[in-house]
Structure 1
């Protein structure tokens, strides 16, 4: 069935793909879609249909469609001044900036949420109109401290590694904590990348993020456990003589990222650490380096960071630091 052309010139869809139709018919549990009057509903449906072929994952498509619905509903209920925000560049920019203010001051949304809405709106104007990206700056985000393990969690992590009966898994846990490698870097290691002697050792990252090369001295505990794994335990594993990978799975293949992630999560569960990700030991490594008084340039080199600003976040105060500072203020007692 042919569709009409709304007054703003944007086409209405003649039919929606099945998954978009399902999205329209079955909104997410607990959410009631914002109602859209007249031609605004057709504009939204057209955009939702266009999202179906966009190179975005399903959650992003759903989020973009939901955020645009909110923006169109706000336009429909608001006097945005002169011009149509859906057809004029100047009116578009003013409307998007006003909507940003509305999200910030009326709906009390956080900066990250507001920027996510602005991203969806920019995608709409780029994908479904000829106007292009609106001239509306994103909000500055508050600097966030890294998700490092606190002192008690670190102790529990090390104890979980110590009592781990699998020498491969134990070495992996110590490697994450004492070398701060990304999980992809750990599984990419070959045995020759870990030269060890009685007194020292190195972890050589030949192609880290951004293809950066770096060398990390091995902590004594890490060196001891890597030596045990490489020279004693690993030799009995399938394909140990022919597969150069440092970490093998039970089939004699290189341990996958998922396999390594499962191992680290098992250690975290044993340590009683909640909200764990494989990146938290890396954050802990960086935080420990900086807070021990080491030069930030050295920390950046050991972490494999291209920018010092990335490393600088490990100097930011934690919530516990802030609370301690407040608690230390004088009282009249």
Structure 2
């Protein structure tokens, strides 16, 4: 009788559990990294021998010794909670004694309308179109890059963000000024897709189990990425050769160069356009609940931060020295 095969290694079990739950690849990489660091921190002991005390010690070390940001500590906590709940089947107690990293209160960097137009005018081609969507529709960078052709609704003048932050879909604005450029981009995508099909490729990655439910969808134009990569690449999970969307660094570098060219003293990133979108809508008098819905915020308190950068309140008060 042949011996039973060795059980998969712990980190392989973690990867398998994350994929069953449809976690994103970058989340998978982050969680595996934190679990590996947790194991090394405790002298390579198996997590099954550890528990809430050791988890608390590791997270406290991150805050006190490593001085990580609160969001970084929270990600490490989420990774370890996932490990014990979904892989080891030993859920940790809710009462973890952790020294939490301080979460700073900050005001977002916002461009004026003139500054936003100046940065956009410095960009060209697909970088200009993508940045215009960030500013005109309030998209996050990855939300823009993950857009599919079918997500644009020209008749309703809206675009649909699929599986945004928090795995939520939402509808937001599709600026009229971008209709012509977007139709041209779709024609470009169609040309690339037709060439891929002729060369024996043309399938795009589909979310969740849609490739089984809709076996032909992966080759349909509507499912192709609106901003495809210039080259095909190998899927790190399945090994399939596909055309993915553009890498986020393409636009990040272009926006950074544009700000430097304009000699702007503000720190301008792709996310600055989203901050500016929200602030300019509130300045125009739109209801904060409407802006919250367009941004996809779960809590209106998150949207409220933009009221602090409006030219109202302290911003509308004139110094006695100036009067």
Alignment TM class, shorter chain as reference: 0.5 to 0.7
Counterpart-to-counterpart distance in 2, 1:269 and 1:236: 34
Residue pairs, 1:242-257, within 5 angstroms: 242=202, 243=204, 244-252=224-232, 253=243, 254-257=245-248
User: What corresponds to 1:286 in structure 2?
Assistant: 278
The structure whose Rg is larger is: 1
What aligned pairs does 1:46-57 form with structure 2 within 5 A after superposition? 50=41
**Residue aligning to 2:23:** none
Change (3 A) 1:265 1:61: farther
Indicate whether 1:262 and 2:218 are aligned. Answer: no
Q: TM-score if structure 1 supplies the norm length? A: 0.52
SS in 1 for 2:270: coil
Q: Match for 1:315 among 307, 315, 323?
A: 307
Alignment of 1:127-276 (within 5 A): 133=97, 142=105, 144-161=106-123, 164=124, 166=125, 168-197=126-155, 201-231=157-187, 233-237=188-192, 242=202, 243=204, 244-252=224-232, 253=243, 254-273=245-264, 274-276=266-268
Against the structure 1 CA distance between its residues 247 and 61, is the aligned structure 2 distance closer, same or farther, given a 3 Å change threshold?
A: farther
Indicate the SS of the match to 1:215.
Answer: strand
Count of aligned positions: 214
Asked if the contact 1:187–1:260 (Cα under 8 Å) also holds between the matched residues in 2, the reply is no
**Alignment of 1:301 onto 2:293:** yes
Aligned to 2:3: none
Can you list the C-alpha shifts for 1:272-298, whole angstroms capped at 9, x where unaligned? 444222210010111111111101110
* Whole-angstrom distance in 2 between the partners of 1:138 and 1:62: 8
Q: Distance in 2 between matches of 1:314 and 1:191?
A: 31
- Equivalents in 2 of 1:140, 1:66: separation in Å? 15
Quote the RMSD (CA, aligned, Å). 4.1
Paired with 1:272 and 1:52, the residues of 2 have a C-alpha distance of: 49
- Give, in whole Å, the separation in 2 of the partners of 1:159 and 1:63: 42
2: CA distance, partners of 1:264 / 1:176: 12
> TM (normalized to structure 2)?
0.54
Q: CA deviation at 1:66?
A: 6.9
Alpha carbons 1:179, 1:218 under 8 Å: kept = yes
- Separation (CA, whole Å) in 1 of partners of 2:159 and 2:63: 42
